[in-house]
Every structure is written in structure tokens, then in C-alpha cells.
Amino acid sequence: MTEKAIADALSYECRENWAAENLDRLYAAKAVSVEAGDQGTGRVNVGFLEITGKLA
């Protein structure tokens, strides 16, 4: 999948509340999630399991 295809799919699935069910299809095993409001405190999740754990 291209980056745009992944972004479009994730955006659509978030709007429909389906994102959590499809993360394994859209996120790489080594994906990194950085909190937007982090302000330099290091709130970073690395890896698929950490990212899905913060959504649970």
C-alpha cells in the first residue's frame, strides 16, 4: 500500500470507529506513535503492540 492509501484508509476507518479492528493491516510492526501534545516529555510508543495497547 502507498502512504496515501494507508492514510486514506485509516482516516476513513477512524471516522467509522473501525480503526482498532484494522490496525494490524495498516500499521507496520515497527511503527512509531508520538503524542501531538507531547511538549518534549517523550511520550512515544514504538511498535505495533505498544500502539494498540494505548488504544485499548
19 against 4, higher pLDDT:
4
9 against 22, higher pLDDT:
9
- Segment 11-55, tens digit of pLDDT: 888 888 877 777 788 888 888 888 777 676 768 888 888 877 766
Query: What whole-number distance in Å separates Cα of residue 29 and Cα of residue 37?
Result: 24
- Give the per-residue pLDDT at 31: 87
Quick check: 34 and 46 in contact, CB under 8 A? no
- Give the per-residue pLDDT at 4: 94
DSSP-assigned letters across all residues of 1-56: --HHHHHHHHHHHHHTT-HHHHHHHHS-TT-EEE-TT-TTS--EEESHHHHHHHH-
Task: List the domain boundaries for the chain.
Answer: 3-55
pTM above the 0.75 mark? no
